[in-house]
Chain A
């Protein structure tokens, strides 16, 4: 027997059909809701920086927001 024939005979294929396993995993994956955040542009980054800066700098952020009419 040639080497290739021996190697193939000695390396069995999957013992059962894997398609059903894959189908089940695909259905499970379809049920998962993936939350994707939009890419951050410079406007979003600036807004985020202002928000974080406000919270960090202003002594009472909640009162500040109420006073500014934002909350």
Chain B
């Protein structure tokens, strides 16, 4: 007997709109990790990424009436996350001007694992942080969010040619930055 294919995101959203509450949970569990990884790279702060993953799905729930059946869900989901991340970064820049907030709101150092995993995390974080913001976002959406070039173009509102160019240059820099780890 052939395996039963997984329901698509759009089918899950439709099922949820028709009253199947478990469909929303399935959708959340399917996307929480890719969204979390992507937001971690965008904000360089895993705790903030936790908040924004939850907030993304709250927004999706609040505005689900705007979704038109037949349009892909994935770009919409990542667009919501993108807007939230941009708002967060804008607020951080604004608050950063106040000397007291800089001391009070500084994130606590995260518990990084020691050993080879910790070293890989530090190098990957540094490699992404060294990229120009547009390349960082494009590479993160492709490598961690699993979005196609067309989906990335829709999320970032640029032509597919621009996405391909950003990917090409971003990946080249990431490979160069991480080359010593691959050899080790």
User: Which A residues lie at the B interface, using CB under 8 A?
Assistant: 1-4, 6-15, 18-19, 21-22, 25-26, 29
Contact = CB atoms under 8 A, between A and B. Distances in A.
Given A18-B50, A18-B54, A25-B54, A11 B181 contact: no
Contact of B53 (A1, A7, A18, A26): A18
Interface of B: 25, 28-29, 32-33, 36-37, 40-41, 46, 49-50, 53-54, 57-58, 61-62, 117, 120-125, 143-144, 171, 174-175, 178, 181-182
Contacts of A22: 28, 54, 57-58
Q: Is the interface of A mostly helix, strand, loop or mixed?
A: helix
B58 A25 contact: yes
Given A13-B33, A18-B32, A22-B58, A3 B178 contact: yes
Contact of B61 (A12, A19, A26): A26
B72 to A, nearest CB: 22
A15 B36 CA distance: 10
A10 B124 contact: yes
A14 B171 contact: no
Given A2-B182, A3-B182, A11 B58 contact: no
A2 B143 CA distance: 12
A3 B25 contact: no
Given A3-B175, A7-B144, A26-B61, A19 B50 contact: no
B178 A6 contact: yes
Given A13-B36, A18-B53, A26-B58, A8 B144 contact: yes
A7 to B, nearest CB: 5
Contacts of B143: 4, 7-8
Contacts of B122: 10
A14 B144 CA distance: 13
B144 A11 contact: yes
Contacts of B174: 3, 7
